[in-house]
Structure 1
Amino acid sequence: MNRVHKHLKLHHHKHTGKVLHHRHTSYWALVLVVVLAGACMLLTNRMAQAADYVVTAKISAPLPAGAPVITSPADGTVFDSPTVNINGTCPLSTPAILIVIYEGTTALGTAQCTPLGTFSVPVTLHAGTQQLVATVVNITDDVGDSSTPLTLGYTPKQVPTPVTPTTPSTTTPSRPHGQRSTPRGSGEQELEIRSRSPFIVYGPSKPAVWRGSFAGGQPPYTANIAWGDGKTSWLKQVGAEPQEVSHSYTEVKSAYRVTITLRDSGGHEIQMRLLAVSPTTASGTLTPTLNTPLPFSHLLYFLYLLTILVLLGLWALEHRENLRTVPVPVAARKKRAQKNTAAAKRARRR
């Protein structure tokens, strides 16, 4: 029994309530965890930002084979009125194509090819002779074949000069309504509407925007844009600078006929007729894609910063307590020395 007790040693631990030295706290592990969490948050944020980028690609609509044919008016016709309807036949396609009447590179008017394969485009002629062509254009602004050139002429009506009566008169001769008060000088440029595109594209979340400018005549100009839905936009006292006018449709249709009317300071007036078209999916409706950021990103950043602040607070608190207490390694060495002294005394007694 004495042999057993001789090999048994009892250790007594005294609780002092003192905070252990900072070497016993795994701060390196905590720092590593915080760094990894920050890296994960940064990667998540980058992925969310990458999701916000919208990559668009153009998928061209089909272009039918064949060129439009102008059936009226006849080639070489001379008109005394500037407004003329250009009629003809066009190749069928799905979705329906557009027929644009060009004079050189200037678009004079646009119309949609009907399901019967016909078109009618009202245009405004300028004084003199001009060559017009009808060109196929699809909804994605790809240009197809053009018709044979059509030569037309326009000779404005001359306003008769009133004869001064030999006897006094109480009445003054009036000029016809809508006619030009005086003929244009040879050096005056014809009034012109310059549209950047022969048609306007719109959608449920995309307004119709006309971009263009005015030239010739006698500026400043006054213009109005009838959007085809009963609404009209006005431009007053503008010059030759580029213009941009937007309009939001309340209903999505395949096409709206847009009429631009321009009047200069001399009272001269011209019109341009375009189409506002809406590209549709197979079901006939547009489906806009919205990209939204992650909803809890700000909350995650707040919690991350709060964790760092808590960790720094604990580290500061522990070091402050260590300054007020006796270092644990010194106390441990004293206790170890006392144990060794007691053990030596017991050995001498034996």
Structure 2
Amino acid sequence: MWHRVRQQVPKQTTKWGIAALGLFALLIFVPQHTYAALNPLTVENPKNGSYGLEATKKQPPPTEAPTITSPGNGNNYSESTATVAGLCKTGLTVQVYDNGALVGAVDCKSGSFSIQITLFPGQNDITAFLFDDLGQSGPVSNSITVYFNNVNLTAFGALITLTSNYGRRASNPGTALTWPLILSGGTGPYAFSIDWGDGTKADLKSVASPGNVEISHTYKQAGLYHVTVKVTDVNGVSAFLQLLGVANGTPPASSAGATTKTVTVVKWMWIPAVATLVLLFPAFWLGRRSELVSLHKKLEKDMANFKEI
């Protein structure tokens, strides 16, 4: 009876060893998560007019300041436009200020930025800040001073200036994005042309007098869009402003600048795997012992049959 029990127990442990080996392989090699990585990635924010990202966790503001490399300090201009370029941290928004007023915003790509701005008459002290998706700003850049002198345009009230308190604004796709602007100088009426950067026809707007002006647009798809606002007065004098519009959500794969790839992540489940590995060796040893006992019993039976013969 004892020999039968000894035979049955190792046979059961053999099955346990095979099962443990299968479980070990399953826990180790089965992928746990597959997800789509999007670049760029914009998280949906239900609040219109916000900066364009809903954060469940706080993050520190940018710690680096952009560096303005152009124009050169002390440059003189006879035209009202200038290109401001420099170095920045990729993925952040660069907002450019002239004499303390916002004169343009652009996204930082490949570690650099470039944007055209409209100069004020006389001295222009140009600085820049980096902003993250939560609207947090970093330290101020180096300051560049340039001068705009044109007798024909700098007469009182002749030059147009166009600014805003917002370099970047957001709304959900299908919901109107409104943008307040500040218009001064020039002679009315004024004609506005707004290119919203999504391939739609530019909006045209007429304003009788300077002051606060509101523009509005509805984006159909999520994404980051470069907005260009141009205004011209009755005398043909013009000014422009470059901004960033955000339609919240994940941009479709076909959107410009967005790439999609599928990444498979294999998570190693160490605790179950180690436990299974620990049980694997005793089960293997017991299974091996079962084979030896079975072989020994078979030899005893064969020898008994041989003696009878």
Question: TM-score, normalised on structure 1?
Answer: 0.52
Q: Does 1:122 align with 2:92?
A: no
* Residue 278 (structure 1) shift: 3.8
* Residue 146 (structure 1) shift: 1.2
* Residue 271 (structure 1) shift: 0.8
Contact 2:228-2:240 within 8 A present in 1 as well: yes
Give the SS at the match of 2:138: strand
Structure-1 separation of matches of 2:176 and 2:60: 25
Aligned counterpart, 2:180: 211
* Residue 245 (structure 1) shift: 2.0
Give the SS at the match of 1:261: strand
Q: Cα 1:155–1:87, aligned 2, differ >3 Å: closer, same or farther?
A: same
Contact 2:229-2:240 within 8 A present in 1 as well: yes
Equivalent position amino acid for 2:126 in 1: L
Aligned counterpart, 2:217: 247
Contact 1:65-1:91 within 8 A present in 2 as well: no
* Residue 263 (structure 1) shift: 0.9
Contact 1:203-1:279 within 8 A present in 2 as well: yes
Aligned counterpart, 1:221: 190
Aligned counterpart, 2:204: 234
Q: Cα 1:279–1:104, aligned 2, differ >3 Å: closer, same or farther?
A: farther
Q: Could you give the per-residue CA deviations for residues 254-295 of structure 1, whole angstroms, max 9, x where no partner exists? A: x211111111122211111111124547999xxxxxxxxxxx
Aligned counterpart, 1:145: 139
Q: Cα 1:106–1:185, aligned 2, differ >3 Å: closer, same or farther?
A: closer
* Residue 249 (structure 1) shift: 1.6
Aligned counterpart, 1:71: 69
Give the SS at the match of 1:143: coil
* Residue 202 (structure 1) shift: 2.7
Aligned counterpart, 2:284: none
Structure-2 separation of matches of 1:58 and 1:228: 23
Give the SS at the match of 2:139: strand
* Residue 238 (structure 1) shift: 2.7
Structure-1 separation of matches of 2:74 and 2:206: 37
Q: Return the structure number with greater relative CO, CA threshold 8 A, min gap 6.
A: 2
Figure out how many residues of one structure are paired with residues of the other and give that number: 200
Contact 1:123-1:271 within 8 A present in 2 as well: yes
Contact 1:64-1:91 within 8 A present in 2 as well: no
Structure-2 separation of matches of 1:251 and 1:58: 18
* Residue 62 (structure 1) shift: 4.7
Q: Does 1:198 align with 2:196?
A: no
Residue 96 of structure 2 is aligned with which of 89, 97, 101? Answer: 101
Contact 1:225-1:259 within 8 A present in 2 as well: yes
* Residue 85 (structure 1) shift: 1.6
Tell me the percent identity: 25
Aligned counterpart, 1:134: 128
Supply the RMSD in Å over aligned alpha carbons. Answer: 2.8
Question: TM-score, normalised on structure 2?
Answer: 0.58
1:1-350 pair list within 5 angstroms: 59=55, 62-92=60-90, 96-114=91-109, 116-156=110-150, 183-184=152-153, 186-188=155-157, 190-230=159-199, 231-253=201-223, 255-280=224-249
Give the SS at the match of 1:139: coil
Contact 2:160-2:184 within 8 A present in 1 as well: yes
Equivalent position amino acid for 1:271 in 2: F
Name the structure with the higher strand share: 2
Give the SS at the match of 1:242: strand
* Residue 113 (structure 1) shift: 0.9
* Residue 186 (structure 1) shift: 3.8
Contact 1:69-1:89 within 8 A present in 2 as well: yes
Equivalent position amino acid for 1:75 in 2: N
Equivalent position amino acid for 1:246 in 2: S
Contact 1:199-1:277 within 8 A present in 2 as well: yes
Q: Cα 1:64–1:203, aligned 2, differ >3 Å: closer, same or farther?
A: same
* Residue 119 (structure 1) shift: 0.9
Equivalent position amino acid for 2:87 in 1: T
Contact 1:99-1:136 within 8 A present in 2 as well: yes
Equivalent position amino acid for 2:72 in 1: A
Aligned counterpart, 1:34: none
Give the SS at the match of 1:146: coil
Q: Could you give the per-residue CA deviations for residues 22-63 of structure 1, whole angstroms, max 9, x where no partner exists? A: xxxxxxxxxxxxxxxxxxxxxxxxxxxxxxxx9x99745653
Q: Cα 1:107–1:186, aligned 2, differ >3 Å: closer, same or farther?
A: same
Q: Cα 1:241–1:73, aligned 2, differ >3 Å: closer, same or farther?
A: closer
Bigger radius of gyration:
1
Contact 1:80-1:155 within 8 A present in 2 as well: yes
Q: Could you give the per-residue CA deviations for residues 79-113 of structure 1, whole angstroms, max 9, x where no partner exists? A: 22222221111124xxx210011023311111101
